[in-house]
Amino acid sequence: MKKVRKAVLPVAGLGTRVLPIAKSTPKNLLNVVDRPILSYIVAEARAAGIEHICFITGRGQEAIEHYFDRQPEIEDILRAKGKDDLLAELLGEAGRPGEMSFVRQGEPHGLGHAVWCAREVIGDEPFAVILPDMLMDANPGTLSQAIAAYEKVGGNIVVVEPCPDGQAHKYGIVALGERDGRLAPMTGMVEKPAPGTEPSNLFISGRYILQPEIFEALSAHEKGAGGEIQLTDAMARLMRSQKFHALEYDGVTYDCGDKVGLLRANVAFALKRPDLAAAAREAIEALLRA
């Protein structure tokens, strides 16, 4: 079984759900407390043992590459002022030599197309896909949980979670075999099933471990829902020859591609910060009393 060393982060989306701010700031660089969403996502990948991160970018997203670059001017100022803790934090976030690559998607043809664009970087290895809109608060991290599941059963791993009551028709829902704790073999996937026909209440929530054969399944560039090349369609084709397992992860998801979801993430993460929790709670309670 090959180790999962690489991760694909599709960040080329336009962020229409968070307009107008996405006109000037890539949606994945929007802040959660005092750092961008992608900072948390990269930290999750590193904690899971990922050695190389491939960002799939689009036009106007150069700021993502700049964020993870070294910034000598700021570093020198912090060093001169003795702000060693903040300096260490900035240096820790910066991309390490050879750790990150940036591949242009060119045209927005869907998630499947974005993943396919990483084929030359990934090669013939199993790899992770992380949807950076979905900020997951978990310990251990969600990707760490997924890799642990992969090391147990091999094949392909799809992270899932329960959907809100009556909302299964809005999601990609998995069909499952017999469960072993939080892990179960997948027998199928249904995209946005009609109410009452869903095979489970678990939807695909933004973390995957995939085998490299997915690239062949994506190479036909067949369009699915919304006229886009869907990753789930390619996964369904690959399921005919490879095993897939669904992992119901232990944690909480914040959809940061949604305005209210982003707000929820800011509140939740501020309340978890030892240096901010008391002041944040006081401010929130004062607003609720007003």
Which H or E element spans position 284? helix 277-289
* Angle, CA 78 vertex, CA 77 and CA 80 arms, to 5°: 65
Write down the domain spans for the chain. 6-289
Collect all residues with Cβ–Cβ distance below 8 Å to 13 and sequence separation of at least 6: 27, 58, 108, 133, 257
Quick one: pLDDT at residue 18? 81
Residue 117 near residue 103, CB atoms below 8 Å = yes
SS3 183: strand
Token representation of residue 231: 């990753």
Quick one: pLDDT at residue 225? 67
The Cα-based distances of 69 to 66, 74, 91 in angstroms read 5, 12, 9
For domain 6-289, the question of CATH label 3.90.550.10 is answered with yes
Predicted confidence (pLDDT) per residue in 100-150, tens digit: 999 999 887 889 999 999 999 999 999 999 999 999 999 999 999 999 999
Predicted confidence (pLDDT) per residue in 189-239, tens digit: 887 888 888 899 999 999 999 999 999 999 877 777 667 788 988 999 999
Predicted confidence (pLDDT) per residue in 226-274, tens digit: 677 889 889 999 999 999 999 999 999 999 989 999 999 999 999 999 9
Which H or E element spans position 206? strand 202-210
